[in-house]
Structure 1
Amino acid sequence: MRFKAVSDIGKIRAANEDNYYHDQSIPFFMVADGMGGHAAGEVASKIAVEVCSAYELDTNNPIKSLENLTKKINENIIKTSQAEQKHAGMGTTFSAVFIEENTLFYVNLGDSRVYIFRSSEGRLNKISKDHSLVAQMLRDGKITKEEAFNHPQKNIVTQALGLQKELDIDSGKETLNDEDIVLLATDGLTDMLRNGELEKIITAHKNNFEKLADKLLDKALNYGGRDNITFIILSRDNN
């Protein structure tokens, strides 16, 4: 398995409230984009990492186990928010994947994303569902994809871990081919680069993850780097 993880503060933010975690031995990967004042977002996304690092995934029932992990993170963030006033209202997005042989199991809450790049087709497919105001407008047919990309309210999430006890968790599974590439990303990357541009960059550098990661980060920064930028690229092949 190949993978590369990147997290950058970007050009505007005073702190990096994103976090990521990976355990290649399982293999398990996650990204989280924290939100909340006084660096509370960083605390929320760090709680997600801490819970993941201590969690024993049930590989006999991966989707259920990933959903339970998501709920556990949510409970821990809420508990911390209630215990410390300075952390009140903090939350985080959460996107995670577990891979078993040729099957990808995923869970998502918020507007970070999980993609699969089908190398045989040169196509990047978003498999997770965004929990955001604009995403719901797009699903309802009220706006176009182009309008969604440029919408002034695109960063308003309708769900995040730590904000409510009841969660509408997005989860599922997908079959992976040997040369497919999985991309987990916070919106600091996907708000800067359209799907087609991501496809072109991945196609050009899919055999060199170091260069691919550099190109993705550089492009997001060149377009303004308005948010923290965090992503993980991974593949089952060893090339």
Structure 2
Amino acid sequence: MRYKAVSDKGKIRISNEDNYYLDQTVPFFMVADGMGGHAAGEVASNIAVKICSEYNIDKENPIKSLENLTNKINNNIIKTSQENQKYAGMGTTFAAVFIEENNLFYVNLGDSRIYIFRSLDNKLKKISKDHSLVAQMLRNGKITKDEAFNHPRKNIVTQALGIQKDLDIDSGQKNLKNEDIVLLATDGLTDMLRNSELENLMAAHNDNFDKLADELLNRALKYGGRDNITFILLSRDNN
């Protein structure tokens, strides 16, 4: 399995409240974008990492297992914020995948994203559903994709771990073909690069993850680097 993980605080933020975790032996990969004042977002995303590192995926029922993991992180963040006033209101997005043979199982909450790039036809498809105000407006036909990309309120999430008990978890399963590339990313990357640019870069450098990761990060920074930038590239092939 090939993979490459990148996390950068960007050009504007003082600290990096994003986090990621991976275990290629499972294989399991996740990204989290923390939010909250006084670096509480970093605490929330760290909680997500810690629980993921201690959790065993039930391979008999992986989607349910990923949903249980998501709820466990959510409850832990809520408990921590209730016990310490300085963490009140903290939360984190959460996007994670578990791979078994040619099956990808995923879970998502918030506006971090999961994509599959199909190298056979150089097409990139977002498989996760954004939980955000702008995504809701887009799904309801109130704005266009171009308007969504440039919308001044696109940073407002409608769901995040640690904010409420009841979650509208986005989860599912996709079939992976040979040489497919999976991309997990926080909005520090996807708010800077349009889908077409992500697709073109992945088509140009799908055989070299180091080069591809450098290009993705450099473009996000070039376009302003307004947020923390975290992403993971992974593929089942061994090129």
TM (normalized to structure 2)?
1.00
**Equivalent residue number for residue 184 of structure 1:** 184
1:66 shift after superposition: 0.1
Q: How does 1:212-227 map to 2 (within 5 A)?
A: 212-227=212-227
1:126-141 superposed matches below 5 A: 126-141=126-141
Partner of 1:86 in structure 2? 86
Which residue matches 1:105? 105
Q: In the aligned structure 2, how far is the partner of 1:153 from the partner of 1:121?
A: 34
Give the gaps of 5 or more residues in structure 2. none
Aligned twin of 1:151: 151
SS in structure 1 of the partner of residue 173 of structure 2 = strand
In 1, distance between residues paired with 2:76 and 2:23? 21
Q: Deviations over 1:192-239 (max 9, x none)?
A: 000000011111110000000000000000000000000000000001
CA deviation after TM superposition for structure 1 residue 70, in Å: 0.1
Query: 1:109-128 to 2 correspondence within 5 Å?
Result: 109-128=109-128
Report the equivalent of 1:229.
229
Residue identity opposite 1:204 in structure 2: A
**Identity score, percent:** 79
How many pairs are equivalent? 239
Provide the rounded CA distance (Å) in 2 between the counterparts of 1:9 and 1:131: 23
Distance 1:146 1:173 in 2: 28
Q: Distance in 2 between matches of 1:171 and 1:121?
A: 25
Q: Secondary structure at the match of 1:147?
A: helix
Asked if 1:5 corresponds to 2:17, the answer is no
Structure 1 portions without partners, runs of 5+: none
Q: Distance in 2 between matches of 1:32 and 1:94?
A: 5
Letter matched to residue 173 of structure 2: K
Q: What is the alpha-carbon distance in structure 1 between the residues aligned to residue 2 and residue 120 of structure 2? A: 18
Structure 1 letter corresponding to 2:75? E
**Correspondence for 2:169:** 169
Deviation at 1:121, TM superposition (A): 1.3
2:3 partner letter:
F
* Map of 1:203 onto structure 2: 203
Helix, strand or coil at the partner of 1:182: strand
Counterpart amino acid of 2:27?
A: P
Once residues 135 and 194 of structure 1 are traced to their aligned partners in structure 2, the CA distance between those partners, rounded to angstroms, is 15
In 1, distance between residues paired with 2:183 and 2:36? 25
Post-superposition Cα deviations, 1:71-95, rounded to whole Å, max 9, x if no partner, equal 0000000000000000000000000
Paired letter, 2:192: M
| CA deviation profile, 1:88-108 (whole Å, cap 9, x unmatched) | 000000000000000000000
Using structure 1 for the length normalisation, give the TM-score.
1.00
2:32 counterpart residue number: 32
Number of the residue aligned with 2:67: 67
Secondary structure at the residue paired with 1:203?
helix
- 1:122-160 CA deviation, whole Å, 9 max, x = no partner? 110000000000000000000000000000000000000
**1:139-191, CA deviations, whole angstroms, 9 ceiling, x for partnerless residues?**
00000000000000000000000000000000000000011000000000000
The match for 1:96 is 96
- For the residues of structure 2 that align with 1:119 and 1:56, how far apart are their CA atoms? 31
Q: In structure 2, the residue corresponding to 1:31 is in which secondary structure?
A: strand
Q: Distance in 2 between matches of 1:88 and 1:136?
A: 26
| 1: CA distance, partners of 2:220 / 2:118 | 22
3-state SS, counterpart of residue 19 of structure 1: strand
Superposed CA RMSD in Å reads: 0.3
Cα distance in 2 for residues equivalent to 1:24 and 1:60: 19
Distance 1:93 1:76 in 2: 14
